[in-house]
Homo-oligomer: A and B are copies of this chain.
Amino acid sequence: MLGFASDYMEGAHDKILQRLIDINYVHNTGYGSDYYCRKAARKIARACGSDDVEVEFLSGGTQTNQVVIDALLQPYQGVVSAATGHVAVHEAGAIEFTGHKVIELPAHDGKIDAEELTKLIDDYWNDESHEHMVMPGMVYISQPTEYGTLYSLSELHAISKVCRANGLPLYMDGARLGYALAAQEEMSLRDIVRETDVFYIGGTKVGALIGEAVVFTHHNRPAHFLSIKKQHGALLAKGWLIGIQFDTLFSDDLYMEISRHAVRMAMKMKDGLERKGYSFYIDSPTNQQFIIIGNERMQELKEKVLFSVWGPYDAGSSIIRLATSWATLEEDVDALIDLM
């Protein structure tokens, strides 16, 4: 079977496994207070080009979204998201579980629009009965989006400007951030630090076993964040397991190197499938590709390729997602193109 189901289907980069073995019998301190977490945080800060960032580690994407959003919002506030945002659709109500409404904006290829955001905020404050409505308290975007698309730097800047004008923290879900950075030269980590208030650098989908690195961009980590993590059931006893992974990913440019590989593989796949006449549901420059395929052909493909069914396209065809990752072999991409 060729594996293109998603980017979290294999373990971790070899270098990470090696480091886990190397330090296996080091007697660490617990709960992220260890040497490796500190070292990883410093390396991430360096990559961010800022002494003002504060870095925290969590285990997975939904957990990170839940903890960060709940920690930043006042209890009576909601988080603004694209209607297709992960927090709006695919977290089984993890945000509402902590008492907060997800306030939806229309999604344009998975992205929100700065003007529509402005209107939403203005409408709230201009409404005579706004005190009876949920106050927008922060803004959530994902980069890349759930559809593999990217905010351009100017789009990000426009949203950031609206957020700052209105005092709303801007939060970027970077579950696949490496693939965004690799696909789009114009936006660097430094840009993200400048434009957002908090974001996370995804590890689970970019070479790590588990783990996400949350970056608070300007000394704005909520007070007592360790207790907040614990209260949410999100504090890992062996915090160093995540620390050592990000220490590795942020050594020798590994994070970007494997991200670039995944995007190169995706572009190769895209070109190959285009040449074979396939249409795409959406034009994605990153590691997720959404292909329109006849239903019969899709059934045949299932016997040889692992992929995700995204939903029906029309009566006779469906949208499937093929994802590359740090672990994708070029020969598998070639085989896939041949096969399809």
User: Which residues from chain A sit less than 8 Å from chain B, CB to CB?
Assistant: 1, 3, 5-6, 8-12, 14, 17, 20-21, 23-30, 59-63, 65-67, 70, 74-76, 78, 89-94, 96-102, 104, 127-129, 131-135, 204-205, 209-210, 224, 226-228, 230-238, 241, 306, 308-309, 311, 327
Contact = CB atoms under 8 A, between A and B. Distances in A.
How many copies of this chain does one complex carry? 4
B99 A93 contact: yes
A150 B308 CA distance: 43
Given A10-B27, A99-B99, A132-B230, 14 more contacts: A9-B29, A10-B26, A11-B24, A11-B25, A17-B17, A75-B75, A76-B227, A90-B132, A92-B133, A92-B134, A94-B231, A104-B104, A210-B210, A210-B238
8 shortest A-B CB distances, which residue pairs?
A3-B27, A63-B233, A92-B230, A11-B24, A66-B233, A93-B134, A92-B231, A96-B101
Contacts of A89: 133
Given A132-B90, A134-B93, A60 B231 contact: no
Contacts of A76: 92-93, 224, 227-228, 231
A28 B12 contact: no
A1 B27 CA distance: 9
Between A8, A98, A226, A227, the greatest number of chain B beta carbons within 10 A of the residue's beta carbon is seen for A227
A90 B132 CA distance: 5
A227 B97 contact: no
Contact of A75 (B21, B23, B70, B327): B70
A237 B204 contact: yes
Contacts of A23: 11
Given A28-B9, A224-B76, A94 B230 contact: yes
A181 to B, nearest CB: 21
Contacts of A70: 75
A311 B129 CA distance: 11
A75 B228 contact: yes
Given A27-B10, A135-B227, A226-B131, A236 B59 contact: yes
